[in-house]
Amino acid sequence: MDLLQTIFITLATLAILVAVHEYGHFWVARRCGVKVLRFSIGFGRPLARWHDRLGTEYTLAAIPLGGYVKMLDEREGEVPTAELGGAFNRKPVLQRIAVVAAGPLANFLLAIVAYWGLFLAGESGYAPLIDKVEAGSVADLAGLEPGQEVVAVDGRETPTWQALSFRLLERIGDTGEIRFTARYPDSDIRYESSARLDAWLAGEEEPDLLGGIGLKLFTPPVEPRADEIVPGGAAERAGLAVGDLVLSADGRPMPLWEDWVAFVRERPGQAIDLRVRRENGSEFEARIVPEPATSEAGEPIGRIGMAVAVPPMPEHLRRDFERGPVEALGAGIRRTGELISFTLESVRKMLQGLISPKNLSGPITIAKVASTSAKSGLESYIGFLALLSVSLGVLNLLPIPVLDGGHLLYYAVELVVGRPVPERIQAVGYQVGLFLVISLMMLALYNDFARL
């Protein structure tokens, strides 16, 4: 059932993004007087089709991995003399540029509308309060101290954990100065400081943003008390129950959940002697043998089938943002602009080797994240949809033939030199572009399967 739900959510997500993208092309083509022959969601054999009064065929096809708008064009077949005025290739170059650019712009508009709705509904998060600073780290060299709140990075506000993470994400692979602004709670005095980055986290497959600068942000301490016991797991076989608190393991105190998790992961298949306290205050001893498993990095680890309840964050660290319609629209435009800039910068850094190509994701990862975000609630799903829409828009604007950006490149050359790029050169460019796109898809799929 979960698999069917994941497939349905993924197909629905792709259909929304493709429909918006292709409708951008379609809408502008119609406004420019181009005759649209077909508007298709998906490729291959049509599952459903219908026509409008202008003769455009609308199709839902069997392979839901994209879509297209087919326009009247002399390069794709003979066009009756009476219809030459509606041929795409006969339109002025600026109109052709507008038609091609409209697809990615529609994706950006979808993101703006999505973020506008999210910001209008209200945004919340928790302040990035420093709990620990690693000695000798970037944060330590910058003079950051436990108890301070990081309020800005490089002059840009970081009112929440998410904002701080995004600002740090933008600096991956960078060499140069990073500036921090911090303050103590209940104080208006801001402390400015800086440190130097040197190819920071360059090439890391799974970069730890906060750990990379030597910060641990405050979270309420989590004690190793069982909130869930997996049926048939090692914890249940050892006699543990919901509410039990692990006091010690092999005589070593276990004050925090993270201590207990690390202890278990390091001992696959090894017996561990426990001291446990029940909710009624009684204590007992037990022996547990963690089941051998494999981490995402391929290393052997131990698991016992026990989950913990995370205590809520203190209310004084909560940050709520209420915006009116105009302010929310401005915030949506800024967020979309930031994501466009970040995506382009990430592409540049990946080409330079500053970001590992293993961070490139394909349809399997998209399916997993789409399903997870949908299960987390409408707000989470809309945010993911907006992010994916920006990524799709930027990807299509890359100057690679077969993508919208490749067409725009050819038309830009035509605009400058006054004549179209020769068909022979375009054909070679399309072959190279197709090879690049297929190679990227194969790399993304490889990364997906490697993560599995």
How far out from the chain centre does Cα 63 lie?
24
CA dihedral 193, 195, 199, 205 (to 10 degrees): -60
**Cα 416 to Cα 312: distance, rounded to the nearest angstrom:** 60
For 220, other C-beta atoms within 10 Å of its C-beta total 11
The closest of 212, 209, 219, 313 to 258, measured between CA atoms, is 219
Which among 242, 304, 231, 234 is positioned nearest to 276, based on CA atoms? 242
Residue 431 near residue 423 (C-beta atoms within 8 A)? no
The amino acid at residue 257 is W
Contacts of 350 (CB under 8 A, 6+ apart): 356, 357, 359, 360
Q: Report DSSP state, residue 402.
A: T
Burial class from Cβ neighbours inside 10 Å (0-12, 13-18, 19+) for residue 86 reads buried
Cα 100 to Cα 24, 43, 393, 427, distances in angstroms: 9, 19, 12, 18
**Could you give the CA distance from residue 39 to residue 23 in angstroms, rounded to a whole number?**
8
Catalytic one of 22, 83, 206, 299 = 22
Total residues found in the chain within this entry: 452
Rounded alpha-carbon distances, angstroms, from residue 214 to 130, 133, 139:
10, 6, 6
**Secondary structure class of 415 (helix, strand, coil):** helix
287 neighbors 304 (Cβ within 8 angstroms): no
Residue 22 falls in the annotated catalytic set = yes
Instruction: Give the residue numbers annotated as catalytic, written as ranges.
Output: 22
